[in-house]
Amino acid sequence: MAKLFGKEFTRQELLERCGDIDQFGGATKAVLADGDEAGVEAVFCRTGSGLSYTVLPGRGLDISTADYKGASLCWRSTTGDKHAAYFEPEMYSWLRQFYGGLVCTCGMAYAGAPVADDLGKLKTEANIGLHGRVSNTPARAVQVDGEWLGDDYWFWVSGKVRETGLYLPNLELTRKVCSKLGSNTIWMADRVENIGFLPQEHMFLLHINIGFPVVSEDSEIVSAVTGVTGRDPCCVELIDTYNKVLPPTAGMDEHCYYHDLKGEADATTYVAIVNRAFDNGRGIGIALKFNLNEYDQFTEWKMCAQGTYVIGLEPANCRVQGRDRDRAEGRLKVLEPGEARTYAMEISVLDGQDEIEACVSKIKALG
């Protein structure tokens, strides 16, 4: 049943009280219209619990804005939801398109730092830029719909994103983003398939960008770590504070940490960022649930500069120092022709101290 306004309702009870279920929540198609966002397909989603978010079929079916009861959940950059036609793949130019947002997908053939790699191949593959192409590719076969399953109303956005070209990788992402009326959770189901005829190296990372007010100097990053590694020397120096957050700091550089995570018997694990001091002690947080058999790597991106005030929680099948580095260190995944990998992610809002403590206790129990 849908829990709305502090009470649970059956399907019959809700339908008796509205002309259309979109009175309470659901998904609505739109097209952005201003500046370099013009033409971007978007879907505005509301669960009715206070959780709202925007899925962008025009940008790889990623999630841009997200808020809960008026509080933003994600960090937003200066770029806005720029149209994919403006994508610049060279070196670090991906950052000109990086709107932040709740979820920005990186991959599928490569992710992480740009490298001059595979010099025997075409130039477009020999000099690969930051974080790949998938987030800057519009989706095809987009479906926006909803249905009742018993007393639960589910709605979703789905479609396919293809990374391909003559003599180049031929990979296809099938994605479904869905929520249940009355819930505080977003479910993402991804399937990446090599639909070409040659083996293909495959990197896949969810850049989940949490911002103020969930992120503040009162926040804590909670994960079932068995070890933490700093990406750079500056990170190693501050590794004892990997799970703490500074206030916005002038001249602050980014810090990245790799978490070695422990899971339940079936490899399910959880990562959260919690702010117990939010709203005079009401508390708020974001929790991720995923499986280590799918996302076997996890990067924390900590950026506490002025204007770029964000904590990135990044489940992945790779690290972020480049495809050549992952290949050399034995992490790089390969999809054989016709092979597919699936990835499931749950992103939930933690509303109040009880939900925060329940999540933190669950994570600590894994340790």
Check residues 167 and 310 and name the one with the higher pLDDT: 310
Rounded to 10 degrees, what is the CA torsion of 311, 315, 321, 322? -130
Confidence (pLDDT) at 87: 87
pLDDT band per the 50, 70, 90 thresholds, residue 294:
very high
Q: Residue 117: pLDDT above 70?
A: no
Q: In this structure, are residues 74 and 209 in contact, taking their beta carbons and an 8 Å threshold?
A: yes
The Cα–Cα gap between 257 and 254 comes to 10
pLDDT digits 0-9 by tens, 338-366: 999 999 999 999 999 999 999 999 999 99
Q: Residue 122: pLDDT above 60?
A: no
pLDDT digits 0-9 by tens, 128-179: 888 889 999 999 999 999 999 999 999 999 999 999 988 888 999 999 999 9
Q: In this structure, are residues 254 and 302 in contact, taking their beta carbons and an 8 Å threshold?
A: yes
Q: Residue 253: pLDDT above 80?
A: yes
Check residues 358 and 253 and name the one with the higher pLDDT: 358
pLDDT band per the 50, 70, 90 thresholds, residue 114:
confident
The Cα–Cα gap between 84 and 17 comes to 41
pLDDT band per the 50, 70, 90 thresholds, residue 90:
confident
The mean per-residue pLDDT over the stretch 271-282 comes to 97
Q: Residue 261: pLDDT above 60?
A: yes
Question: Which CATH number do you get for residue 272?
Answer: 2.70.98.10
| Host domain of residue 220 | 2-366
Percent of the residues in the chain that have a pLDDT greater than 70, as a whole number? 97
Domain count, the chain: 1
pLDDT band per the 50, 70, 90 thresholds, residue 64:
very high
Confidence (pLDDT) at 125: 62
**C-alpha closest to that of 62 among 322, 347, 364, 270:** 347
Confidence (pLDDT) at 126: 61
Check residues 5 and 231 and name the one with the higher pLDDT: 5
Confidence (pLDDT) at 48: 96
pLDDT band per the 50, 70, 90 thresholds, residue 124:
low
Check residues 330 and 130 and name the one with the higher pLDDT: 330
Confidence (pLDDT) at 230: 84
Percent of the residues in the chain that have a pLDDT greater than 90, as a whole number? 82
The Cα–Cα gap between 274 and 159 comes to 32
What is the distance of C-alpha 162 from the center of its chain? Answer: 18
pLDDT digits 0-9 by tens, 183-223: 999 999 999 999 999 999 999 999 999 999 999 999 999 99
Bridge partner list, 176 = 158, 189
Bridge partner list, 190 = 175, 343
230-244, 246-260, 346-360 — which is least confidently predicted?
A: 230-244
Query: Which value, in Å, is the radius of gyration of the alpha carbons in the chain?
Result: 20
Q: Tell me the pLDDT of the chain averaged across its residues.
A: 93
